[in-house]
Structure 1
Amino acid sequence: MQGSVRKKGSKWYYSFEVSEVDGKRKRIERSGGNTKKEALEALNDAMYKYNNGYVEPKKLTFDEYITDWLENFIKENRKINTYERYKELYKNNIKPHLGNILLKDLKAIHIENALQSEKKKKLKNDKNLSNSTLQAIYGVINSSLNRAVRLQVINDNMCKFVERPKRDKFTANTLTIEEFNLLLNKLDKDSYGDYMFHLALLTVLELGLRRGELAGLEWDDIDFENNVIKIKNNLIYTNNNVLLGTPKTEESKRSIYISNDLLERLKKHKIVQSTNKLKYGNLYEENMFNDEKKNFIFTWESGKYVHPNYFTLKFSRLIKDLNINKKVRFHDIRHTNATLLLQQGIDFKVIQSRLGHSDISTTLNIYSHVSTDMQKSATEKLSSLITYY
C-alpha cells in the first residue's frame, strides 16, 4: 500500500488506496495538517491503523458504544451483579453527561467535567456522592474505553489523562464479643426463624463469610470427616431476582477449616432439617437454581431457601432493638471475624486466605487499624528485649 501527500490551498492532504470487499479500489483522502511533515506523519499513522484493522468510529456515539459493551461483553463475561452495577452507574451517573458525545470526539475534559458534576450531586440524605462511587464511575468509563482501544475503535483512552478519584478510606466496623453475645441471647431459639438466624450468626463469626456465601452453602460442601467446608456458591439478589452464582473472585472459592463445636451444631441442624422434610412431606419445597436441585443448609421450615436480604434486615432489627449505638451491618460480622483473628496474632496471609481476598493489600488496607491492646502487647514484647540505662 502506497500513499501520497499534496497541498491544497493552505492545507496539506494525504491519500492512499484501499481494497473494497468486491475487489475494487477506493481512495481515502484526509486533511493532514499545515505542513508537509505533518501530512506525511498523518499518512503513516492512517495506513498503519488501516493495516491493523482500525475502524474509524464515524458517527458512533458513546451511548451506542457503551450499550453494546454492556450487553455483549460485560453481560456475557462478568458476573450478573457486576453487569447490573455497571448498567446502573452508566444510566444514572454517566449517560447524562457523555451519552450523546461521538466516541471519536470524547476528550479528557468531558470525562473530567462528568466526574466533577457527579461529585457535586446531592443525594436524598443531602450528602454528596462518595469518593468510592466516583471511583466506580471512573472505572466503568475507563474499562469501556480500554476495550474500545483493544478493538481498535478508538486510538487512545482519554481516561489516562484524567485523575482517578481517590477511594474513601475504609475503616471496618466491628462488634465486641460482648455485643455479639447480646445478639445471640436476644434470639428465641424456640422460634425456627430465630434458631436458624442464631446458627447463621455463629457460622459467619467463625468462618467470615459474605451473606451470599452463607445463603448458598450446601450440605455437600461440608467434609465432616476432615472438618473442612468449601465455599463455592454465592446466592445474590439482583434486578428483582435471586440467582445462584459463584463467589466474588476466584480466590473467594476456598476451603476453610471448621471447628468441632460448629460442626456439631450443623450436624444437629441437619437432623432438624430432615425432621422438617418428614413433617411437610410433598409440600416440602425444592430449590432449583441453574436447572439443578440445591440442598441448601440454611432454609426455612418449608425447605425454601433463605433470601440473602433476610440476613441483613434481621440483623438491622436486632441491632436497633438492643440499642447498640454503632453503624454495623450483617457484613460487619465478617470484619469482626478478621479483627478477632488479628487480635489473636493470626498472620495476615492466613486471614486473606480465609476471607477469600484476591490481593493481600485488600486485607492490609481494611484491617490496618490496630487496637490499643495490640499496640501495648507489641511495645511490651519489644521493651523486654531492650536494656535501658
Structure 2
Amino acid sequence: MLARYKNGCLQKIKRKDGTERWQFRWNALCPDGVIRERKKTLGLVSDYPQRSRKLQDLLAGLRQNINTDGPTELTVVTLATAVEHYKLHELSDSADSGRAYSTRRKKIQVFDRWVLPRWGKLELRDIKTVAVEQWLKSLMTSKSGRPKPLAGGTKRKIRDAMSSIFNHAIRWEFTDRNPIRGPVKGSGVRVSGKREQIPDILEVEEMQLLLGALEVRERTLVFLVTRSVVDQQVGDTKTEVSRKPVPIDESLARDLCAWREQTPYREPADWVFATDSRRAGAKRGKQPFWLSTIMRYHIQPKARELGITKKVSWHTFRHTYSTLLKANGEDVKVVQELLRHASAKITLDIYSQALTPAKRAAHSKVVKMIFHKVVPRGCTADSDSVRANA
C-alpha cells in the first residue's frame, strides 16, 4: 500500500514585533512510533508574497522533503529521543546481541549524568562539533571535595558515548551526519585522554610484605584477576579472550584448597568466594563478595599497617602484574592474554597466538618471584596433600 502524499499546510503567524511570517506545518512519524505535528518558520510574508513563484518553489522543496524516506533538513529528532531509541535497540540485555551489564550501566550513567542535561532537548541537526568540544573543556567535578576539571579519560568516554548515539541515528536514518566524529579524520570533537597521574606500581618486596600479611581469601583474590560479576549482576564475560582458561600456579592452587576448607560454602554449585555476611540476609552464601568491600575493609587497611603509602586497589595489582611480566621479558602476546585484553592493540598490535604452556610459565614466574619468601597465614593444610588434590 502506497503511503499517503503529505502536502502540509501554510499559515501566517504574527511575532511580538508585529511582523508577519510564513509557517509551514506537517505531521511526521517520530522514532518512538508516535505521529507528531512539526513546524518550520520560512520567512517574512513581505519577502515571500502569497502567489509568488519564490514561495511556491520553496513549498515544493519542503513537500519533497517531508515525503522522502530517510533524513532530510526537516527531520526532527532530539538527542533525548535518539538516546531512548539507542537504549532500546543497542543496550538490550538479550543473550546473543546484547551488551554486557557493565557496558550498559556505564553508558546509561554517562547519558543521564552528562549528556542529556545539556543536549537532550536539542535536535540532532543543531548539535555542532565546536560547541560540544567547548562544553567538554568546561566540565568540572567536585567528587574530591573541591571543583576541578573533569579527567581527560572521562571526557573521552562522554565524547565516545555521544558519537555512538549519532552512529545509531545514521544507521536508523534519523540523520546523515555525526558532528562528534566529523566527516574526515581530525575534524571531529578533539579531547585529550592523557592521564592526570601515573598509576602506582608495587615493588616486589611490597607485594611480598602485603601478601604475607593477608588472609588466604584476600591473598588468593589478588591473583585471580578475572570476573563476570559487576555490582552483583552475573553475566557472561564480555570478550572471547575473557572466556579462555586462567592459568593457576601451584601456590594459588594451595590457597584455593585452603580456602575451600575454611568456607562453609563448598558445594560444586556454590560461589568460590560466597559472601557470609549477615547483612546479605537471604542472599547469604548465594552471591559473591563485593570486591570493593574486600579492598576497603581488608586489603587497604593492612597495606597502611605495613607502611605502604602507595594507592592500593585492584587496578594497582593489575598494573603491578603487567609491569612484572614485562620486566621478565615475556612475549607481548602472552602478556596480552594473561591480562585478558580483548585486542592486541593494547599490547603493541601483535596478533600471534600464545601457547598455554608459555602463558602458564610466565604466570608462574611472577607468582614464584613473590611467593618464595612469603610465609602464608591461614594455610593449615599439608602442602603435599594439597598439591595432590589440586
Shorter-chain TM-score bucket reads 0.5 to 0.7
Give the partner amino acid of 1:310: T
Instruction: Report how many aligned residue pairs link the two structures.
Output: 286
Of 153, 158, 165, which residue of structure 2 is paired with 1:137? 158
**Which residue number corresponds to residue 128 of structure 2?**
107
Is 1:307 aligned to residue 307 of structure 2? no
- Partners in 1 of 2:244 and 2:159 — Cα distance? 31
Give the partner amino acid of 1:260: E
Q: Report how far residue 58 of structure 1 moved.
A: 4.1
Identify the range of structure 1 (175-184 vs 102-111) with the bigger mean alpha-carbon deviation.
Answer: 102-111
Assess if the C-alpha contact under 8 Å between 1:251 and 1:356 holds in 2. yes
- Partners in 2 of 1:316 and 1:71 — Cα distance? 40
Q: Report how far residue 296 of structure 1 moved.
A: 1.7
**Which residue number corresponds to residue 351 of structure 1?**
335
Listed as ranges, the gaps of 5+ residues in structure 1 are 1-18, 188-193, 214-233, 279-285, 287-292, 366-389
Indicate how the Cα distance of structure 1 residues 306 and 364 shifts in structure 2: closer, same or farther if over 3 A, else same.
Answer: same
**Which residue number corresponds to residue 222 of structure 1?**
none
CA offset digits 1:25-75 (Å, max 9, x no partner): 4458998xxxx9xx99x97xx779935x44777443211221332244224
**Which residue number corresponds to residue 190 of structure 2?**
164
**Which residue number corresponds to residue 363 of structure 1?**
347
- Partners in 2 of 1:244 and 1:26 — Cα distance? 50
Indicate how the Cα distance of structure 1 residues 199 and 152 shifts in structure 2: closer, same or farther if over 3 A, else same.
Answer: same
Assess if the C-alpha contact under 8 Å between 1:98 and 1:110 holds in 2. no
Give the partner amino acid of 2:229: L
RMSD (Å) for aligned C-alpha atoms: 3.6
CA offset digits 1:270-322 (Å, max 9, x no partner): 3444xx359xxxxxxx9xxxxxx942222346745222222321322222222
Give the partner amino acid of 1:183: L
Identify the range of structure 1 (297-306 vs 158-167) with the bigger mean alpha-carbon deviation.
Answer: 297-306
Of 166, 181, 186, which residue of structure 1 is paired with 2:208? 181
Secondary structure of 2:274's counterpart equals coil
Greater fraction strand = 1
- Partners in 2 of 1:359 and 1:176 — Cα distance? 28
- Partners in 1 of 2:122 and 2:265 — Cα distance? 59
Indicate how the Cα distance of structure 1 residues 25 and 137 shifts in structure 2: closer, same or farther if over 3 A, else same.
Answer: closer
Assess if the C-alpha contact under 8 Å between 2:216 and 2:255 holds in 1. no
Listed as ranges, the gaps of 5+ residues in structure 2 are 10-23, 25-41, 43-53, 277-283, 350-390
Give the TM-score of the pair, scaled to structure 1. Answer: 0.63
**Which residue number corresponds to residue 335 of structure 1?**
319
Of 270, 289, 298, which residue of structure 2 is paired with 1:295? 270
CA offset digits 1:61-101 (Å, max 9, x no partner): 21122133224422443222222211221222222321121
Is 1:266 aligned to residue 256 of structure 2? yes
Assess if the C-alpha contact under 8 Å between 2:159 and 2:189 holds in 1. no
Give the partner amino acid of 2:270: N
Q: Report how far residue 341 of structure 1 moved.
A: 1.5
Give the TM-score of the pair, scaled to structure 2. Answer: 0.63
Indicate how the Cα distance of structure 1 residues 153 and 332 shifts in structure 2: closer, same or farther if over 3 A, else same.
Answer: same
Give the partner amino acid of 1:50: T
**Which residue number corresponds to residue 319 of structure 1?**
303
Indicate how the Cα distance of structure 1 residues 56 and 252 shifts in structure 2: closer, same or farther if over 3 A, else same.
Answer: farther
Indicate how the Cα distance of structure 1 residues 277 and 352 shifts in structure 2: closer, same or farther if over 3 A, else same.
Answer: closer
Indicate how the Cα distance of structure 1 residues 25 and 196 shifts in structure 2: closer, same or farther if over 3 A, else same.
Answer: closer
- Partners in 2 of 1:363 and 1:57 — Cα distance? 46
Pairing of 1:190-339 with structure 2 (within 5 A): 194-201=215-222, 203-204=223-224, 209-210=225-226, 213=227, 234-237=228-231, 242-273=232-263, 276=264, 294-300=269-275, 303-304=285-286, 305-313=288-296, 314-339=298-323
Pairing of 1:46-195 with structure 2 (within 5 A): 50=68, 53-54=70-71, 58-76=75-93, 77-118=98-139, 120=140, 123=143, 124-159=145-180, 160=182, 161-169=187-195, 171-187=198-214, 194-195=215-216
- Partners in 1 of 2:115 and 2:243 — Cα distance? 33
Secondary structure of 2:341's counterpart equals coil
Greater fraction helix = 1
Identify the range of structure 1 (149-158 vs 94-103) with the bigger mean alpha-carbon deviation.
Answer: 94-103
**Which residue number corresponds to residue 16 of structure 1?**
none
Assess if the C-alpha contact under 8 Å between 1:316 and 1:330 holds in 2. no
Assess if the C-alpha contact under 8 Å between 2:138 and 2:149 holds in 1. no
